Structure 1
Amino acid sequence: MGNLLNYDGPVLRFLTKIVYSVWLNILWFICCIPIVTIGASTTALCHCCQKMARDEESYITRTFFTSFKQDFFKSTIIGLIMIGLGAALAVDGYIMYRLCFTSVFWTLVSAVLIIAAVAYIIVLLWIFQLQAHFVNTIINMFKNSIMIGMRFIFCTITMAFVFVAMGLLIYYVCTPAIIFGVGTCTYFCSMLAKNILIQCESQEF
């Protein structure tokens, strides 16, 4: 029991990482306020969480802002594209909901929107993880994120479940849990994606 609770024990190391993830959640939120910087902020968050997953974290705040600056241009473009695609899907989904009626056309369009929404979620879960880990073109980042998301579908579903569970916890159970929010979810997702990213290093990603 003493080994579990000592400074280098697994329990305190885990709690330390949770505290780090809370602080990263705060930094992420602050840097997302201008909206256009959501991409750069999310990449920086993933970069720090990946280091934590590999037990390589040090000077969390400095690491966050270093990644924020280094990946700013490409991450910002990716973020703006994802915002635009998300807004388009939301508007189209709302229109189809308001026009709800039984017809072949409505069914086909709804099916296409559902497939597009699933693809969007897969890309959203992976693209910033890839951007934080690899150097590649924006087009290839989108292609690889959907490919990896589909190839490792169980991990993708688990990552999505982490965010959904956190959202339900905040909304229905404990609103103050928002302090953990995206930071803690991203840390758990980085833990899930750690071996996959290592595996992809030997391939052309």
Structure 2
Amino acid sequence: MKGLLNLDGPVYKFCILVYETFMLNLLWFLGSLPIVTIGVSTSALYYVYGKKIRGNSYNIYSDFIKGYKEVFKQSLPIGSVITMILSLSIYNIFQLHKLGSEYIWLESFQWFIVLQILLIGVFIFPLTARFNMTLLDLIKTSVILAYKHLFISVAVVAILIALILFTAFKPSFALFLVGFYTLISTYLIEKTLKKFIN
């Protein structure tokens, strides 16, 4: 019992994980309040979790702020474009669905756009958190990685959808949703990013 509760025990580590996930989720939300900075906040999360998973020393507060500042110029335009396209496509899907089956082809095209954005998003924000690249290089590299490692990309998107659906049934999970998703996706794509660096 003593081993479970000491500083190296699983209970303590689990409590730290829950605390960090909650606080990073809150920091992400605060950083995303202007809406156009959602991409910046997301990249800052990947900045913190990247350090954690690679075994580097980190502080969730100072590293989130540091990551936010470092990626701001690079993440703001790409995050704004992705947010705008996703919002517009989802709006179109709802409107086209109301019009009936005669517009099913157009609705399917909108779903295709959403899927492409989600697949590219798997890598684009982690890349902005670690590399200083031009906008064109970011998009091109994200597309290449997303389709070269399609299994991982689809798995990460599936996890995101599953977590969103879970939150719909358990709204309180929204306090952890983005932080938990970013942690899992960072674990899944870290090896791929290491290969990309090499």
TM-score range, shorter chain: 0.7 to 0.9
Q: In structure 2, how many angstroms separate the alpha carbons of the residues matched to 1:158 and 1:12?
A: 29
Unaligned runs of 5+ in 2: none
Asked if the contact 1:45–1:64 (Cα under 8 Å) also holds between the matched residues in 2, the reply is yes
1:98 aligns with 2:101: no
CA 194–2 in structure 1, closer or farther in 2 if over 3 Å, else same? farther
CA 32–50 in structure 1, closer or farther in 2 if over 3 Å, else same? same
Partner of residue 182 from structure 2, selected from 177, 182, 186: 186
Task: For residue 13 of structure 1, report the CA deviation from its aligned partner.
Answer: 3.6
Asked if the contact 2:36–2:83 (Cα under 8 Å) also holds between the matched residues in 1, the reply is no
Q: In structure 2, how many angstroms separate the alpha carbons of the residues matched to 1:7 and 1:24?
A: 22
Task: For residue 167 of structure 1, report the CA deviation from its aligned partner.
Answer: 1.8
Q: In structure 2, how many angstroms separate the alpha carbons of the residues matched to 1:14 and 1:134?
A: 31
Count of aligned pairs between the two proteins? 198
Q: Which amino acid aligns with 1:145?
A: S
Unaligned runs of 5+ in 1: none
CA 75–9 in structure 1, closer or farther in 2 if over 3 Å, else same? same
Query: Equivalent residue for 2:124?
Result: 127
> Residues 8-19 of structure 1 correspond to what in structure 2 (within 5 A)?
8-9=8-9, 12-19=12-19
Task: For residue 10 of structure 1, report the CA deviation from its aligned partner.
Answer: 5.7
SS of the residue 1:34 aligns to: coil
Q: In structure 2, how many angstroms separate the alpha carbons of the residues matched to 1:87 and 1:97?
A: 16
CA 83–193 in structure 1, closer or farther in 2 if over 3 Å, else same? same
Query: Equivalent residue for 2:141?
Result: 144
TM-score normalised by length of structure 2:
0.88
Task: For residue 25 of structure 1, report the CA deviation from its aligned partner.
Answer: 0.5
Partner of residue 118 from structure 1, selected from 115, 118, 137: 115
Asked if the contact 2:97–2:104 (Cα under 8 Å) also holds between the matched residues in 1, the reply is no
Task: Answer 1 or 2: higher relative contact order, Cα 8 Å, separation at least 6.
Answer: 1
TM-score normalised by length of structure 1:
0.85
Q: In structure 2, how many angstroms separate the alpha carbons of the residues matched to 1:54 and 1:14?
A: 18
Query: Equivalent residue for 2:162?
Result: 165
CA 7–141 in structure 1, closer or farther in 2 if over 3 Å, else same? same
Query: Equivalent residue for 1:48?
Result: 48
Identity %: 26
Q: Deviations over 1:121-150 (max 9, x none)?
A: 111222111111222111111121122111
Task: For residue 6 of structure 1, report the CA deviation from its aligned partner.
Answer: 4.1
Query: Equivalent residue for 2:30?
Result: 30
SS of the residue 1:76 aligns to: helix
Q: In structure 2, how many angstroms separate the alpha carbons of the residues matched to 1:107 and 1:162?
A: 26
Query: Equivalent residue for 1:84?
Result: 84
Task: For residue 9 of structure 1, report the CA deviation from its aligned partner.
Answer: 4.6
Query: Equivalent residue for 1:61?
Result: 61
Q: In structure 2, how many angstroms separate the alpha carbons of the residues matched to 1:152 and 1:5?
A: 40
Aligned Cα root-mean-square deviation (Å): 2.2
Q: Which amino acid aligns with 2:136?
A: I
Q: In structure 1, how many angstroms separate the alpha carbons of the residues matched to 2:88 and 2:78?
A: 15
Task: For residue 189 of structure 1, report the CA deviation from its aligned partner.
Answer: 0.6
Task: For residue 14 of structure 1, report the CA deviation from its aligned partner.
Answer: 5.0
Task: For residue 60 of structure 1, report the CA deviation from its aligned partner.
Answer: 1.4
Query: Equivalent residue for 1:200?
Result: 196
